[in-house]
Structure formats: C-alpha cells, structure tokens
Amino acid sequence: MLHKKIVFITLLLSLFFWNCQDKTKQEISLPKTSKSSMKIDYAAGFAITNYENSTLLTINNPWPDSDKNYRYLLLTKAQAAVSTYNKSDYDGIITIPVENMVVTSTTHIPALELLEVENTLIGFPGTDYISSEKTRQLIESGAIRELGKNEGINTEVLLELNPNVVIGFGIDGNNKSFETIRKSGIPVIYNGDWVETSPLAKAEWVKFFGALYNKSNQAESIFKAIETDYLEAKSLAENASSKPRVLSGAMHKDIWYLPSGTSPEAQLLKDANVDYLWANSESKGSLALNFEVVFNKAKDADIWISPSYYNSLEALEKANSHYTQFDAFKNKNMYSFVNTAGKTGGVTYYEIGTARPDLVLKDLVKIAHPEILENYELQFFKRLE
C-alpha cells in the first residue's frame, strides 16, 4: 500500500514539473512585448526592436519605389535553445553574433571594420573594388573569396562557403542569385543604405550591422562620434565669410547629370554652406539637363565639384571642348574624388564616403572655406590638374 502511495505521489510530482516546464516554454514563446526599440534618428530603412528573448530586425522599402518590408528574427545561441517561433512569420532566422557573412557592396566594408569584425567577411563580388588596406590584406591571404559580379554572383562558390547571412542590395528586388541563395537556406538581407535621403541616415546603417554582430552599444557609440563630428563641421561652415557658387556633375552623351536639391549630395553641399546652384530643385535622384541650361546658370560658378568620372582637366577638354568655357575650369577650381583609390583601383569615396559623411563634409568645407579648416588634409577630393 505504501509503495502504491509513493508511486502515486511520484506521478503527481512528475505531472506537476512537466506542466511547469511546458508553461515555461509557452512563456518564452516569441514574439513577446517589446522591451525597447533602438533609437534611429535619421535612417528610415530599418528598425531594431528588442524583445525579452529575441531581437526583430525590420527592413523597410530597400530600393526606390519599393513597398516591401522584411522581418528577421535575431537570436543568441542561448535564446535559440529555449525559444519557440513560427518560421513562416519571418524572412530569416539568424543566430547572433554572426560568425561569417558575405556582403555585396563596398559601402558595407567600413561598418565591418568600424565594428572590428572584418575577419568574418568570407566572400565578396568584385574584390578589386575594395580599397581598404585592412580588408585587402584579408583578400590577399585568401580569407575572402571572389564571387564574380554583383548582378551575377557565383552562387556555386557562395553556397560552398555557406555563410550565416548574405547582405545584398537591389534596384528592384529581382535578383535570381539572391533567390537561389535564399532557397538554399541562407538568409539574404537587403541593405537599403543607398536609398536613404541624407548623409547621416546612410551612416546610421552601422547600427544595422551592430545588431547582427550583437554589438549594438558599440555601433551606437560609433555613429554618435560620426554624427558629432559632422555637426561640428557644419557649425564651423555656418560662420564662413563667403558662400561660393557651386556646380556639380558633367555630360554623359548629350545629357548633363547632377544632384537634385533633395539628394544627400545636395545636403552635404548645403551643410558645407555653399550656394549649390540647383539646391532648390525637388526631383528625386539626379537631374538630367542639356548643356545650354547648365552653362547659362553655372558658367561663372566658383567651384566645380565631381565632374563625373573625369580625372583631369585634359580628359574633360578632350571629352567636350565646351567645358573649358566655365570659369571654374579656367581657374582650375575643380575637384573630384576619382583620383583617390586603393591598390587595385577601387575608389575610396565609394567605399568609405557613405559610412563617414563627416569626412566628406570636412572635405567640402576645406574646398569652399579653406580658412576654416586650415590644417585639415583632404581625404577624398583632389583638385584636378
């Protein structure tokens, strides 16, 4: 009789503890009520929401005129071990910190280096475009594999590498390579930094990478330093005694392309306290104008910034002799970033400029108001000779 009572009590206790364990698992099912959302001050393309047992990364409209949003569940190994979730609710489940990844734009490289995780990069399409000496050493040592071209990634090599995640970008979301990668079980996240409409918004995407590496605090600190540096340079420029008139861009075939007044490039020029001649235009993206319109408005501009891909005054004159009629050309007051490149030809501006708008702004302030940043050396722009 005593034995039966012991068995009965043991059974009751087993049921009790089993029920408690089951309730515990239900209590940590995802998602839970948000504890906090990371403060995003400028960027519109992503959001990071922290839950008690997970982090939700949301990507909003990652290409022009997009109406798509993507949701990624980020879990530490400890969280993944005790969490339940419905895979169909997310576009990817990613264990953080990410141990290795593939990125597809040079603009992604500086964020990895700023977070000191560049050694987790294992593949890139078009490695010659990477200008960073630190990452180039990894390429030359064989730690980073060449993956072909971004529009046609070598998926065979990428699948062999089997990264934790691929960071892509797209102009319309129709990328067959990314679809193949996704179907293989490797999450693909579209990075929309290039769609942002202000320089600081683009730079704030370091927080996106911070979430993937479980380094959000470090990412916030990095961005805060960049923001502070940028705003200090802007404040200095506001005290300039002059406001030079600025022209930008050049002809491609019969059309002159230059930044619209709503572009990040125009914002940089505004913050450098110059009179950008098309600052009031409201079109999205670039303006497409004929030569006569540009010449009539900008023939006496003081400074000519970023004359397309031309790297010398001679190259400009050979392309179109009419360029020589501009005062900025006659006075050799023309500046471009195309002559600042890495060992294999990658233009430094296209890599670092997005992540470090503070340095870009300082360059522009130095060019427009040399008396303000007297001891500053240009990082990207060089006067055309």
Amino acid, single-letter form, for residue 335:
Y
Task: Write out the E strands in 24-183.
Answer: 36-37, 46-51, 54-60, 69-76, 92-96, 101-103, 121-124, 145-146, 148-149, 152-153, 165-168
Check residue 82 and give its pLDDT: 86
Please tell me the total count of domains within the chain.
2
Give yes or no: residues 314 and 172 share one domain.
no
Res. 18: pLDDT tops 90: no
Check residue 34 and give its pLDDT: 56
CA distances to 3, 18, 25 from 13, in Å:
15, 8, 18
Give yes or no: residues 170 and 263 share one domain.
no
CA distances to 163, 213, 217 from 100, in Å:
6, 10, 20
Give yes or no: residues 257 and 220 share one domain.
no
Average the pLDDT over 339-344 and give the result.
94
- In this structure, of 163-177, 227-241, 254-268, 354-368, the range with the lowest mean pLDDT score is 163-177
Give yes or no: residues 255 and 127 share one domain.
no
Measured from the Cβ of residue 314, the count of other Cβ atoms closer than 10 Å reads 11
Res. 123: pLDDT tops 80: yes
User: Is 1 contained in some domain?
Assistant: no
Check residue 11 and give its pLDDT: 37
- The per-residue pLDDT for range 138-153, each reduced to its tens digit, is 999 999 999 997 667 9
Give yes or no: residues 249 and 168 share one domain.
no
- The per-residue pLDDT for range 172-194, each reduced to its tens digit, is 878 889 999 999 999 999 999 99
User: Is 99 contained in some domain?
Assistant: yes
Q: Decide: 261 and 279 in contact? Cβ < 8 Å.
A: yes
Check residue 33 and give its pLDDT: 52
Q: Decide: 233 and 369 in contact? Cβ < 8 Å.
A: no
Decide which of 52 and 131 is more confident.
131
Res. 22: pLDDT tops 90: no
Give yes or no: residues 47 and 114 share one domain.
yes
User: Is 52 contained in some domain?
Assistant: yes
Give yes or no: residues 90 and 168 share one domain.
yes
Give residue 5's pLDDT band: very low, low, confident or very high (50, 70, 90). Answer: very low
Q: Decide: 182 and 189 in contact? Cβ < 8 Å.
A: no
Check residue 12 and give its pLDDT: 37
Check residue 175 and give its pLDDT: 86
What is the overall mean pLDDT for the chain? Answer: 90
Last residue of a domain, one of 226, 258, 288: 226
Its domain, for residue 315, covers 242-383
Domain containing residue 137: CATH number: 3.40.50.1980
Decide which of 49 and 36 is more confident.
49
Give residue 309's pLDDT band: very low, low, confident or very high (50, 70, 90). Answer: very high
Give yes or no: residues 102 and 220 share one domain.
yes
User: Is 3 contained in some domain?
Assistant: no
Question: In the numeric block, which tokens belong to residue 331?
Answer: 């006075």
Give yes or no: residues 84 and 200 share one domain.
yes
Give yes or no: residues 113 and 253 share one domain.
no
Whole-angstrom distance, CA of residue 278 vs CA of residue 297 = 9
Give yes or no: residues 289 and 198 share one domain.
no
Measured from the Cβ of residue 176, the count of other Cβ atoms closer than 10 Å reads 11
Reduced DSSP (H G I as helix, E B as strand, rest coil) percent helix, strand, coil of the chain, to 5: 40, 20, 40
User: Is 146 contained in some domain?
Assistant: yes
Last residue of a domain, one of 191, 226, 261: 226
Give yes or no: residues 166 and 122 share one domain.
yes
- In this structure, of 25-29, 213-217, 274-278, the range with the lowest mean pLDDT score is 25-29
Last residue of a domain, one of 197, 226, 255: 226
User: Is 138 contained in some domain?
Assistant: yes
Whole-angstrom distance, CA of residue 212 vs CA of residue 87 = 18
Check residue 259 and give its pLDDT: 95
Helices within 153-242 (DSSP H only): 155-161, 176-183, 199-203, 206-212, 216-238
